[in-house]
């Protein structure tokens, strides 16, 4: 995609100001992209997502059982760029198997490594609160996500 954008400047897309936004099962793909091409991205929003298998194989097992590829299998927070800010959102009532436990370990490991992490927890929200929970707190967190991206991309 980036090769295409670079070769097609007529699209007038500033490829030096790109952020990634991922939810749920797309989060590992986004983390993988950050690890492969860190200079391409200024920031990432990761919401309600499986992250890395820091406890063994929860993510890989879950993805395989759903017929998905675990894009970050065998990877760790050590492989993430130290200069790409991350906004991580968590739904306290997320019903996806093992999701919150992997997300919590990821946040802890990212903080231990001193990565630029912003974390927001919605204690009463279900999975995909952005779509499934029309509450004041959901709107506040979505606004925080948008402001985070706006700040890092301007």
Q: Residue 126 belongs to a domain with what CATH number?
A: 3.40.50.1820
Dihedral sign computed on CA atoms, order 98, 87, 125, 105: positive
Average pLDDT value over all residues in the chain: 92
For 45, 63, 134, 153, the CA distances from 90, given in Å and listed in that order, are 11, 19, 16, 23
**Could you say which DSSP state residue 128 is in?**
T
Q: What pLDDT digit, counting tens, does each position of 62-113 carry?
A: 888 888 888 888 899 999 999 999 999 999 999 988 899 999 999 999 999 9
Domain count, the chain: 1
| 13 in a structural domain | no
| 12 in a structural domain | no
Nearest C-alpha neighbor of 100 from the set 45, 145, 33, 55: 55
pLDDT in the model for residue 13: 87
Mean pLDDT confidence for 41-59: 89
Q: Which residue has the higher pLDDT, 66 or 142?
A: 142
Dihedral sign computed on CA atoms, order 3, 8, 84, 117: negative
Residue-level length of the chain? 154
Contacts of 152 (CB under 8 A, 6+ apart): 19, 42, 43, 85
* Cα atoms in the 13 Å half-sphere on the side-chain side of 95: 5
| 11 in a structural domain | no
H or E stretch covering 106: helix 99-112
Domain of residue 70, residue span: 19-153
pLDDT higher than threshold 90 for residue 5: no
| 10 in a structural domain | no
H or E stretch covering 148: helix 136-153
| 28 in a structural domain | yes
Please give the model's pTM, rounded to 2 decimal places.
Answer: 0.91
- Residue 128 backbone phi and psi in degrees, to 5: 60, 50
């Amino acid at each position: 995609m980036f090769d295409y954008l670079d070769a097609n400047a007529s699209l007038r897309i500033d490829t030096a100001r790109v952020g990634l936004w991922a939810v749920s099962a797309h989060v590992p793909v986004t983390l993988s992209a950050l690890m492969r091409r860190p200079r391409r991205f200024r920031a990432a929003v990761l919401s309600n997502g499986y992250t890395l298998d820091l406890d063994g194989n929860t993510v890989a097992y879950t993805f395989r059982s759903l017929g998905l590829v675990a894009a970050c299998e065998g990877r760790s927070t050590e492989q993430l760029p130290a200069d790409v800010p991350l906004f991580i959102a968590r739904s306290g009532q997320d019903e996806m198997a093992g999701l919150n436990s992997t997300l919590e370990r990821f946040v802890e490991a990212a903080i231990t490594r001193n990565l630029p992490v912003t974390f927001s927890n919605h204690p009463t929200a279900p999975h995909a609160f952005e779509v499934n929970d029309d509450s004041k707190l959901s709107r506040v967190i979505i606004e925080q996500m948008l402001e985070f991206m706006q700040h890092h991309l301007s």
